Amino acid sequence: MTVKTEVSRFHIHDELTAPEDSVPIIKSIQLAGGAISKFLGVIAESPATLRAYTRLRSELHKGELSQATRERIGLAVAERRKDAYTLNQFARTARAAGLGLDEVSRAREFSSADEKERALLTLLKATLAYDEPVPQHLVEEAREAGWSDSQIVEGVAEMALAQFQSLFAAAAELPLEGSDPAVLRSAA
């Protein structure tokens, strides 16, 4: 059954209503213990989009960045975009990844009590300032803090992934998720 809420601009699919080519992906998420978030339900309308998102997310999660670092990046992007849906998801998954309330709050401002994390977040914040180039000293500071170039590249990719989710949440005007942990694991 397609779920159409008062504020959702697009259909939110599940395994019964999704286009045929999206169904195997949805079922694989469910078999892995995840539920289908509203975000995934929306992008399931386009099997190519669902495949692209899930493949990029899967590959990045095999990368070098810790879950806590990925959550910090997601929080920062969601806050910058003023995206309540994605911010709510990242706030919950960040807590599950071990970030305390103070660190969640700092991450929302592209900061951290951890000097290394703060250096990466500062670089990523500057990367989002489209009207000017990223200052070289921020790249050097991230390297000096202990980030490899590979990790910095992954950080930019994680930021793009969080932006991707936030853009769809805004376009669909998605309502907040419930408290089902499986939904939060599958979408964040």
pLDDT single digits (tens) 67-93:
999 999 999 999 999 999 999 999 999
Domain at 89, CATH number: 1.20.1290.10
User: What predicted TM-score, i.e. pTM, was given to this entire model?
Assistant: 0.88
Confidence of residue 178 (pLDDT cuts 50, 70, 90): low
| 30 occurs within a structural domain | no
Spatial CA neighbour of 41 closest among 89, 85, 3: 3
- Domain assignment present for residue 44? The answer is no
Residue 90 lies in a domain: yes
Does 31 reside within a domain? no
In a domain, 168, yes or no: yes
Residue 186 CB partners (closer than 8 Å, separation 6+) = 29, 32, 34, 35, 36, 37, 40
Note the pLDDT tens digit of each residue in 51-63: 999 999 999 999 9
Cα 62 to Cα 75: distance, rounded to the nearest angstrom: 20
Cα separation of 114 and 68, whole Å?
11
In which domain, by residue range, is 151 found? 67-187
Domain assignment present for residue 14? The answer is no
CA separation for the pair 29, 54 (Å, rounded): 9
Q: Tell me if 125 is assigned to some domain.
A: yes
- Cβ contacts of residue 78 below 8 Å, gap of 6+? 86, 87, 89, 90, 108, 162, 166
Structural domain count, the chain:
1
